Structure 1
Amino acid sequence: MLKLYAITFNPFFNLLHLNINAIDMHKPVLTIHDQETAHKTVSCVSCGNAVSGTYCNVCGEKVIADRDFVLKHYIEESFEGLTHFDTKFFRSVKVLATKPGLLTVNFSSGKRVNFVKPFQLFLICNLLFFLLAGKLNIFSQPLWAFYHYRPYISFGTKQAVLEKASNDKQFEKLAIAFNEHIGTESKLFIVLFIPVMAAAFALLFIRSKKYFSEHLVFATHYFSFILIYFTLFTLLISTPFYALNKSNFSSSYDAISSLINLSVFAVYLGIAARRFYNTGKFYTVVAAILTILFFSASLYGYRLMLFYKTIYGIHLS
C-alpha cells in the first residue's frame, strides 16, 4: 500500500517508474534535462533564434541534450550519417549513369533531398579518379607523346624537351620526373573544365532560357559521369592492356580508345541534353557533335598547359 502510494503521488518515484517501464519496453529513455529541453524555449547557439523543439526552425541547428553525449548515441549517429550519405551517393551515381540528364532535371526542379549536391558529387568522383586511375590518363600524356606526336610538336613541345634533356640519359631521367608530376597535376585541375563547358552549353542552348547556374549544374553532372567512366575504363581496360603489352604508351591504342570514349560521351551528352534542354533530335545531335569537338580541342589545350607547367617546373641535377 505504501509502495503504491509513493509511486502514485511522489513525483520522483513517478519519474523512476516511467524510466523503468521505458527500459523494459526497449524505448529511448529521456533524461530530466532532455524532458526539460523538449518543453522549454531556449536560444539557438548558432543564430540566437528562440527554439521550443529539438531543431531550430531558422538555421536547423540541433538543441543539445544530455543524450547527445552518450557514447552509444554518438556512434549510432555517426554510422547513420555515413550510411545515409552512402545511400545518396550511390543513388546519384545510378541515376547519373542510367538516366543521362535526369539528375540535372531533378536538381533544377527542386528534387534535391535524395541526391548528393552537384559539386559535392563531382569532388567525390574526382577523388576516386585521383586515387584509382593511373598516373597517365585521358587528361595527361607521357613525355614520349609530347616529343614525337602531333599536334603537340606543332606547339614547340619537342624543342622544350630538348632544352631540358640533351642526351638519352637526361631524357630518361626527365621522363620519369615528368610522367610522375603530370599524372598528379592533371587530376587536380580538371575542375577548370566545368565553367568552360558550361559556357559552351549556354551558347549552344541559348534558346532554352536557362540560368547560367543551371548550365553549370549540367556541366558538373556531365563531368562527374566522365570521371566515373574514365575510372572504370582505366581500371578494367587501359591498365590490363598496358600490363599485358609491357609498355607505357601506345599511339594506336590511344587513338582507338579516344575514338571510343568520345563516341560514348557524344551519345551520353545527346541523351542528357535532349532530356534537360528539351531540344529536337536533329539539333541535339548537332549540338552534341559540336560539344565533343570543343571538348577535344579543350582537352588538347589542357594537356599542353600541363606540359609547359610541368616541364619548366622540373630541374634536373
Structure 2
Amino acid sequence: MNKKSCLNCGHSISDEFCAHCGQKADTARITIHSLIKNDILGSIWHVEAKFFYTLKNILFSPGTTAMNYISGKRIRYNNFISLLLILFGFNVLSYHYYEKFAPAETLTDDVIYVKDFFSKYSKVILFVLIPMLGANGYFLFKRIKLNIAEHFIIGTISLLGILILFLLSDMVSLIGLWKPVETIFNIIDKIVFGLSILFPAITYWTAFKNSYSKPGLLWRVSVLYVLMVVESSVISLILYEIF
C-alpha cells in the first residue's frame, strides 16, 4: 500500500489518522457538501453524542464508567471537569427559573438560605467534595490498589451524578408548579432527591462489587457516609464562621 504524507505535519501516513499529529488522512479539498456534512453536522453530532453518552453512563452505570476511565477507556467520554462546570451552570440556571416561577410561600427562609449558601460557595464545594471522597475512598478501599488521583476520578463521577439528579429535581419541581400534576411530581421530586443522596453509595458499590463481599462493601460505604457528613459539617461551619 502506498504511503501518503500528512498535509498538516508532513509525516508518512499508513492508516486513517496521522500517528504524529492525529489529523485524518482523507483531508480532501473542502466543498459545500463536505463543509455541511463533516465540519458542521459532523462536529455537532460528535459533541452532542459524546456529551449525552457520558451523562447516560454516569447516571446508570457510575462505577463501571469510573473504572473504565481509570483503566484507559477515555476517548468515549467527555472531560469530567468540563462537565462539572457545565452542570453547575445548568443547576444555577434551573434553580433561578424555579425561584422565578415558584409561589412565594414555597420559598421558605431555609430554602433561600441553602440556595444562597450553595450559590456563594459552589466552587469551594466543587473543589473540596472531590478530594474528600477521593481521600476517604483511598483509605477505605485499599485492596483495589488505586492511587489517590484515581480515587479522585471516582469522587468526580459521584459528584457528577449528584449534579445530574439535582438538575432533574429542579426540572421536576418546575413542572410540579402546574397544579394538575403537582402531587405526582412532588413524589417524583422526593425520589430523585433521595437517589442523589444515595448516588455516591451506588457509585462505589458498582465500582467495587466484584472485589469485596456485600458485608465488606456495606460497612465501607457506611463509614464513607459518616466521614463525609462529619467533614462536610466541619467545612460548612468553618465557612459560616469565616464569612
Q: Could you tell me the TM-score, scaled by structure 2's length? A: 0.70
Task: Quote the residue 1:185 is aligned against.
Answer: 120
What is the number of residues matched between the two proteins? Answer: 222
Given candidates 135, 142, 155, the residue that maps to 1:206 is: 142
Other-structure match for 1:41: 5
Superposition RMSD in Å: 4.0
Q: What residue in structure 2 maps to residue 231 of structure 1?
A: 167
Whether contact under 8 Å (1:135, 1:179) holds in the other structure is: no
Query: Which structure's CA Rg is the greater one?
Result: 1
Change in Cα spacing, 1:238 to 1:293, as seen in structure 2 (3 Å) is farther
Change (3 A) 1:71 1:95: same
Question: What amino acid is aligned across from residue 122 of structure 2 in structure 1?
Answer: K
Q: Which amino acid aligns with 1:290?
A: V
Q: Give unpaired runs (5+ residues) of structure 2.
A: 100-106, 180-189
TM-score (norm 1): 0.56
Which secondary structure state, in structure 2, belongs to the residue aligned with residue 67 of structure 1? coil
Aligned equivalents of 1:304 and 1:263: distance in 2?
A: 20
CA offset at residue 112 of structure 1?
2.7
What is residue 214 of structure 2 aligned with on the other side?
Answer: 281
Matched, 1:268 2:229: no
User: Within 2, Cα distance between the matches of 1:64 and 1:181?
Assistant: 52
* Residue 112 (structure 1) aligned to one of 49, 74, 78: 74
Alignment of 1:1-317 (within 5 A): 41=5, 44-45=8-9, 50-52=11-13, 55-61=17-23, 67-68=29-30, 70=31, 72-76=33-37, 77-134=39-96, 145=110, 182-189=117-124, 190-237=126-173, 240=176, 260=194, 264-265=198-199, 267-275=201-209, 278-308=211-241, 311=243
In the TM superposition, residue 237 of structure 1 has moved relative to its aligned partner by 4.0
- Verify the 8 A CA contact 1:262 1:292 in the aligned structure 2: no
List gaps (5 residues or longer) in structure 1: 1-37, 146-175, 245-255, 312-317
Identity, % of aligned positions? 20
Letter in 2 for 1:93: L
In structure 2, relative to structure 1, the CA distance for the partners of 1:63 and 1:240 (3 Å cut) is: same
In structure 2, how many angstroms separate the alpha carbons of the residues matched to 1:282 and 1:144?
41
Query: For 1:78 and 1:308, how far apart are their aligned partners in 2?
Result: 51
Task: Please give the alpha-carbon distance, in whole angstroms, between the structure 2 residues aligned to 1:221 and 1:180.
Answer: 23
CA distance in 2, matches of 1:111, 1:225: 19
Residues 61-88 of structure 1: CA deviation (Å, up to 9, x unaligned):
35796724x4553343132122112212
Q: Distance in 1 between matches of 2:176 and 2:157?
A: 28
1:222 CA drift (Å)? 1.0
Q: Quote the offset at 1:278 in angstroms.
A: 1.9
Distance 1:118 1:269 in 2: 15
- 2:199 corresponds to which letter in structure 1? F
Say if 1:71 and 1:265 are closer, same or farther in 2 by CA, change over 3 A.
same
Q: Distance in 1 between matches of 2:33 and 2:237?
A: 54
Counterpart position of 1:247: none
